[in-house]
Amino acid sequence: MPKDPYPPLSLYTEYIGLRATSLGQTLIFLLAPLFASLPHADSLAGDLADGYAKNILTRGHRRKWLAAKYLAVFASGMAVFVIPFLVNLIVTSMFVPTVSPAVAPEHFSASRNTNPNAAFFISHPMIYIIIYIALGGVMIGLFCEVALAVSLAVHSRFTALLSPFILYMLSYVTCNLLGSFRLDPYHIIDPTQLTPTNPVMPIILPLALFLITFLPLMIIGGRRDVL
Which has the closest alpha carbon to 149: 194, 208, 86, 203?
Answer: 208
The predicted pLDDT at position 110 comes to 78
CB atoms within 10 A of CB 83: 12
Distance CA 28, CA 211 (A): 26
SS3 112: strand
Q: What angle do CA 67, 69, 75 make, to 5 degrees?
A: 105
The residue type of 11 is L
Is 21 in contact with 115 (CB distance < 8 Å)? no
Distance CA 122, CA 147 (A): 38
DSSP run (H or E) holding 144: helix 125-144
The 10s digit of each residue's pLDDT in 153-183 is 887 889 999 999 999 999 999 988 888 878 8
Domain parsing of the chain, residue ranges: 11-219
The 10s digit of each residue's pLDDT in 187-208 is 899 998 877 787 888 999 999 9
For residue 196, give the DSSP letter.
P
Distance CA 27, CA 67 (A): 31
Residues in the chain: 227
The predicted pLDDT at position 179 comes to 81
The predicted pLDDT at position 104 comes to 63
Share of the chain above pLDDT 70, in %: 89
Residue 134 has pLDDT above 70, yes or no: yes
SS3 191: coil
Phi, psi of 104 (to 5 degrees): -120, 170
Distance CA 43, CA 49 (A): 10
Give the residues across from 112 on adjacent strands: 104
Distance CA 109, CA 128 (A): 13
